[in-house]
Structure formats: structure tokens, C-alpha cells
Chain A
Amino acid sequence: MTQQPRVVIVGAGPAGVRAAETLVAAGVRPVVLDENARWGGQIYRQPPANASFERSKQALYGFEARKADALHTTMATLLPHLDYRPDTLAWACGRGRLDTLHAGREIGVPFSHLIIASGATDRVLPVPGWTLPGVYTLGGAQVALKSQGCAIGRRVVLAGTGPLLYLVAYQYVKAGAQIAAVLDTSALSQQIAAAPKLARQPATLAKGLYYMGWLQARGVRIERDVKLAGIDGELHVRAIRWQASRRSADSETLACDAVGLGFGLRPETQLADLAGCRFRFDAQNRCWLPELDAAGRSSVPGIYLAGDGAGIAGADAAELAGRRTTLAVLDDLSIAHPRGANLPDVASLERRLQRIAIFRQGIETAFTPPADCASQWPDGMTVCRCEEVDAKTLRHCIRSGAASEINRLKALTRVGMGRCQGRMCGEAALALLSAETGKPLEAVGRLRSQPPVKPIPISPALYADGVAAIPEEARDE
């Protein structure tokens, strides 16, 4: 190599940490950019440091305590061998350079090879009343407990679908919080039908069944195959309403002061988009994902993806993919793969990833988000939280023929134009487009990312260092 490689990893969750571990073992010193204050990502999120948080890893992570601890310890031992930058937001990606923000200061981070391990957020589908204080994502409900020792309310209902529903309920009840009900929009029959594929990861399946059985044994109310109707309250959550869809059209109401809402996970792909990666529609993830080869290389030379940010597959797969993708980076750098007891080879990694991939198919069958929810949304329901755009506005625009594609819909109605840039409303807007036009999800467009990936403050510190003046020929009025 004529030039020193500069390998940068965005994200310090399971994928990012294992990528860093593999690089360091091969003699490379990567830069690791972490938006959070401490490594661990979401699932292995650590409480704030230096604040006397006392709970053991067992208490925080349950059955995953050993994995969490291993990941945390690995990163701790890696620290002297890499450039770890916490509280650092990578907000734009140009050719060979990331723009990052840390403590109000702007720092350009050049790279020759970039591993994007940006993880995921909850997949959010709106329910009438979902903007009320007291409604949080399922992941948010978990973070409140794990990272802050808080329940999101005194009387919590968890609603939506996905394995997280049962895990969070278990964690809450175990910690002494009150779960008034678990409302799963998926039917038990779906979960049973998925059993053969789920059995490919027997330990994971066993844990899921354990959580369900444990909750049932403690009399926690679990309703399946529900149709969520709305969340009621004036200034905050007071109750949640649903229909037990197959049995009757009657609506049920349950008093509560908090709702944890989630329908699985969605990958964070904005940086990959800004980096110029080509995307393809993935039916299983129900969204557009960066095109990747089997090793995690994107369509842009030098840009790689691993973990949930490349497609939802869970924490175990993220660790494996972080390793696997980094071996491809090493190949591309003509650097030998590191060998060692804790450093599996490509064949072993790919075998395990393949097993998990089949398991994931099972998860998607067991916990499919409700199919026709878009047509049920009342006109008055807010779809875009940031801009307060309701379903009626979107339907009107689509039905008038003015927009049949998401970026056009955004330009005309403002959906997705707010601070969250479509993270919370994108799924819903696409679902509405699909429902109203009759076109499948992959035919109604892909929401284009624009920098900054997250809002940045307009701050003098951002431009303090050597920012050039606007050239004469570009001085428009």
C-alpha cells in the first residue's frame, strides 16, 4: 500500500466493537465514532458513567449479561489501540471524509475505508393519540429502565409486535414496574407457524418462550391478534383502546398512563445514502437497504456496512457481521486475517450468520407488522410528529394525483421535513402511499437522506477553524 489506510468505524454497538476488535488484532488502528457517551450501542447500552449506577449486568441485561459484559470488556481493552470518540455525531459523509460534531466543535474525519455500523431504531407505526406525553417507543421504554432506572409510567401498556414486546414486559415486571397489558397485533398462529425457522436458534427461541411463559405465570395480561384503535388522553396518556379483531368488533379500553409502542426495528441508513451507496428494496425488512455483497461491501469502494444498520438481524448477527465485514476490509487492504481463539474465520462466521438469517425469517413471520393498518388510520391522526401533518393531508395530496412517490409527497405536504427527517413517519407515509395508490411498497419511492443526518446547532464553534470565505464567483444575492 502506498498510502496509510485510514479505517473509520461509525457506531460502537456489537457490530462496531467486533469490527474494531478484528482491525486491532490485524494491526490496524481504527477511529471509532460513537454518537453515545459510552460504547454498547442500544441493546448493550450502559448507564451513564461516574454516577453510582449500581445494578449488575445480570439485572440490566438478563440472559444477555454474559454477552454484554464480553462486549464491554473487549472495547475497554481495545481503547489504547484505537481512537475512540464518544459523543461524536457523524452528520455528513462526502468522498473520503466524514463531517463530525463533538462538544460543539466541528471535526472532519478523513477515511480510506469506512465501516458503517449505525444500528437501528424502533419501527414506528402511528396510532391515534401517539403524540401524547406518555407514549414512547418500545426501545425507549427499555432504555428508560436500563439506562435510567425508570419506568415510563406508573401503569404501562406495551403495544405493537415483535420479540421486544415480551422482553421489555419481562424486564419491567422483574424490576417491579406495573405492566397493565401486553397488546400484540400478531396472532399466536403466526408465531406457531414460524416455529420451525425460529428453532434454528434454539437458545433465542427458548428465551422468547421463557419470557412469555414467565409473564403468563405472573398473570400479566397478554392479548394477541389485536387491532390498536387509539390512545386516549387530553394532556397525557389516560387509556388505550383496541379491538380483539377476530373475536368481535367490540372495542376494549384499559386505563394506563404510559404506552410503549413498537413494531420491530428499522435500520438507520442515512449515512450510507449520503455516502452514495446504491439501495435495493428488501421484502423481509420492508424497506430499502444498501446493496451489499455477501461480505458487507457496498456499491461504493471503501464503504462497508455491518449490523442492524445493514438490515435487521439482531445483536448476535451484528457481532458476527462486524467481524465478517472487517475481514473483507482487511482483504481489500491486502492485510492478513488475524488468527486467534476469539477470532473466527470467514467460513465459521458465514455459517452462523446463515443460521441466524433463517431464524430472522421466522421472526418476521411470527411478528409481521399489521398489513392494512394505513387504511384504518383516521383522517385526523398525526402522521408526521415533527411537522404535525395528518393523514387527511397526505391522502388528499395522493388522491389528487399530485404525488405517487415519497419524495414528491414530502415536498408537497412537508411529511418527513422536520427535525427527525422521516425516521418516525417515513414508514407510515410509505404505507399510506402504498394503500392509496395500490402500488406495492417498493414502487412508491425511497426517502432520500439529506445532510445533516441529525440536527446540528448553528454555532460559532462549528466554523471557528479555518473556514474559507465564500468565493467571489459564488456570491449570489
Chain B
Amino acid sequence: MPGISYPPDSSDERGPQFVRIAELRRMPLTFVLDGRTVSALNGDTVLTAILTQQRQVRQSEFSGEPRAGFCLIGACQDCWVRSEDGTRLRACSTLLAEGMRIVTRGAAWDVNAGLAAGAASIISAASTTSPDGTAP
């Protein structure tokens, strides 16, 4: 449509969703987001910590479309993520702890996390956008 100027792609697509506009003088924390070490601030919820780095929190298990939470008060249940050890976390109502290892891409649930070693025959989730995830 003429006259519409979208913010330029490069600054936008990989940029954060949330913008910090206050309370910047808090103690920094680091955590691991999809394998990358990134920083956050003490007092951030897991949701804030993720969304000040990127624009998605999880992928829909059906369409694979990205989601980034919705209600921020623990009602919509759209911000459940997992940590690398398999723990389920509701991002908007969980405070970020130093060193947390959060996964936002691929299957929201790692079947292997709950199993004994040698789970070779697990069928992975129907996620079209993630190259990782459990072995077929």
C-alpha cells in the first residue's frame, strides 16, 4: 500500500519485541536462549527476558507459527516454554534465574528428557521449522 513505511527489516525481524523504557538499573543476569548466552535483568520474567532478545517465545505445535505470549497475567497459557532439562515453565509468571537454559524453537516437549538412556525409537514432533528436536 502506498505511503506505508514499515520499519526496515534488518532492524526489525530479529530484533526484540519488548522495549525496556524504565527500570534499567537492575542487576544484569545471563541465561541461555536456544543455546546462545544472552543477558537480562534481575526481576525479569522469563517472558520479558526472551522478548527483549527476540520476537517469539514458542512455536505452535500444530501450525508451527510463532507465538509470543498474549495476556502476561497467566490466563492465556500461550507462553509455556521449556528449559533444556525438560521442565515446563509459564514464562510470564516465572522469574528468570541466573543460568536458566530456555528453549523456544522446535518441540515444546522433549520426550527424551523423561526417559532412561537409549530412547532411539521416539517419533519427533510435527514441527516443520525446526531442524533439531528428537531423533526419529
Contact = CB atoms under 8 A, between A and B. Distances in A.
Query: In the complex, is A directly touching B at CB under 8 Å?
Result: yes
A48 interface: yes
B45 to A, nearest CB: 7
Interface in A149-179: 149-155, 175-177
Contact of B23 (A134, A149, A236): A149
B43 A137 contact: no
Output the residue of B21, B41, B63 with the most chain A CB within 10 A: B21
B72 interface: yes
Interface stretch (B30-38, B75-83, B117-125): B75-83
B98 interface: no
B19 interface: yes
Given A135-B70, A137-B70, A140-B72, A176 B26 contact: no
B27 interface: yes
Contact of A150 (B7, B52, B57): B52
Contacts of A385: 67, 70, 76, 78
A257 interface: yes
Contacts of A134: 17, 55, 68
Interface in A73-97: none
A312 interface: no
B74 interface: yes
B22 A155 contact: no
Contacts of A27: none
Contacts of A148: 18, 23, 43-45, 48
Contacts of A175: 21-22
Nearest to A130: B70
A154 B73 contact: no
A419 B13 CA distance: 28
Interface residues of B, number: 50
A388 B80 CA distance: 16
B12 interface: yes
B25 A52 contact: yes
Contacts of B13: 235-236
Interface residues of A, number: 60
B73 A121 contact: yes
A154 B19 CA distance: 6
In terms of DSSP, what is the predominant structure of the interface of chain B?
A: loop
Interface in A379-437: 385-388, 418-420, 423-424
B127 interface: no
Contacts of B77: 386, 418-420, 454-455
Interface in B35-65: 41-45, 48, 51-52, 55-57, 60, 62-63, 65
B76 A420 contact: yes
Contact of B21 (A132, A133, A176, A238): A176
Contacts of A352: none
Given A133-B55, A143-B72, A151 B19 contact: yes
Contacts of B21: 145, 149-151, 175-177
Contact of B68 (A54, A121, A150, A236): A236
Contacts of A420: 75-78
Interface string B79-122: 01000000010000101000000000000000000000000000
Given A140-B71, A255-B6, A150 B48 contact: yes
Interface in A225-257: 235-236, 238-239, 253-255, 257
A133 B67 contact: yes
Output the residue of B44, B67, B71, B93 with the most chain A CB within 10 A: B71
Contacts of B27: 51-52
14 contacts: A54-B23, A121-B73, A133-B55, A136-B69, A139-B73, A140-B71, A140-B72, A143-B72, A144-B72, A148-B18, A235-B56, A236-B55, A386-B77, A419-B80
Top 9 nearest A-B pairs (CB, nearest first) are: A51-B43, A149-B23, A133-B68, A419-B77, A140-B72, A149-B22, A150-B18, A143-B72, A121-B75
Given A54-B23, A424-B75, 17 more contacts: A37-B93, A51-B43, A55-B22, A122-B71, A131-B60, A137-B70, A139-B71, A144-B48, A147-B72, A148-B48, A149-B21, A151-B19, A152-B18, A239-B4, A388-B62, A424-B78, A454-B77
